[in-house]
Amino acid sequence: MAAGDSAAPWAHEALEELCRTYWRPVYAFVRRQGHGPDDALDLTQGFFARFLERKQVKLANPDRGRLRSFLLISLKNFLVNEWSRAQAEKRGGGRSFLSLDEQREAETRFLTEPADPAAPPDQAFEKRWALTLLDQALSRLRDESAATGGQEHFEALKVFVWGDQSAVSQVEIAAKVGMTPNALGVAVHRLRRRFGELLREAIAHTVASENEIDVELRHLIEVIGS
């Protein structure tokens, strides 16, 4: 809604954030459609260039459903009707919402994330959307820890916030960072609580009202577990 209000001073920033948030989900969908990495990059850039050119964000309406559903329909239409290889470079528009390193990272993540070959591309889009929101919350938590001088502890404890906790021992990590097991348990609890708050904030930016946050959170957890 903020991105669609072109007269507002915050519209450009909101639009940039929207495109950055959904860039990886769009890329994952395109790759699952069978396009190679280079073509997927061109298509993803082309989609957002056309999306901005036509100011399609103004067509998004909370009464018509979720923003991610609107984007997915727009993307499917784009892939069917709007793209040809000869226009890939032209449609990129020279404007990128991710750095080259971040674009390469999108492909690396795509290759390393387990996926059912028979699963529909829509599932890849949804999962990457969910993981992007988790990444945003974790990144903010890292920045907050760094701002208070606790980045080293954060890097050691983040696996207990989000990750494969079966591969590590809290007792071993406590000894490694010079904390008692009890103190480490308290620190992990605080990080998890703050992570939950930041994740809810990230979700709040994708829905029209606070009443929808819990519904989206449950959906996100379901998507991650699928």
pLDDT, one tens digit per residue, over 147-161 is 988 888 898 898 888
- Do 94 and 42 fall within a single domain? yes
Q: Is residue 117 part of a domain?
A: no
Q: Is residue 118 part of a domain?
A: no
User: What pLDDT, on the 0 to 100 scale, is given for residue 170?
Assistant: 85
The 10s digit of each residue's pLDDT in 1-28 is: 655 566 666 667 777 777 788 888 999 8
Q: What is the mean pLDDT of residues 82-98?
A: 52
Domain count for the chain, please give it: 2
First to last CA, the chain: 30
User: Domain limits at 48?
Assistant: 1-112
Q: Is residue 2 part of a domain?
A: yes
Amino acid in position 175: A
- Do 45 and 94 fall within a single domain? yes
Q: What is the mean pLDDT of residues 39-68?
A: 74
- Do 173 and 106 fall within a single domain? no
The highest-confidence range among 70-74, 94-98, 113-117, 179-183, by mean pLDDT, is 179-183
Tell the burial category of 39 from Cβ atoms under 10 Å away from its Cβ (0-12, 13-18, 19+).
middle
Q: Is residue 67 part of a domain?
A: yes
- Do 34 and 85 fall within a single domain? yes
Q: Is residue 174 part of a domain?
A: yes
205 near 1, Cβ under 8 Å? Answer: no
Q: What is the DSSP string of 62-113?
A: GGG--HHHHHHHHHHHHHHHT--GGGHHHHHTT--SS-HHHHHHHHHHHHHS
Q: Examine the fold and report which residue of 112, 144, 162 is the final residue of a domain before the chain moves on.
A: 112
Q: Examine the fold and report which residue of 88, 112, 136 is the final residue of a domain before the chain moves on.
A: 112
- Do 73 and 146 fall within a single domain? no
Q: Is residue 134 part of a domain?
A: yes
161 near 141, Cβ under 8 Å? Answer: yes
- Do 52 and 78 fall within a single domain? yes
Which one-letter DSSP state was computed for residue 119?
A: S
- Do 108 and 1 fall within a single domain? yes
Q: Residue 131: pLDDT above 80?
A: yes
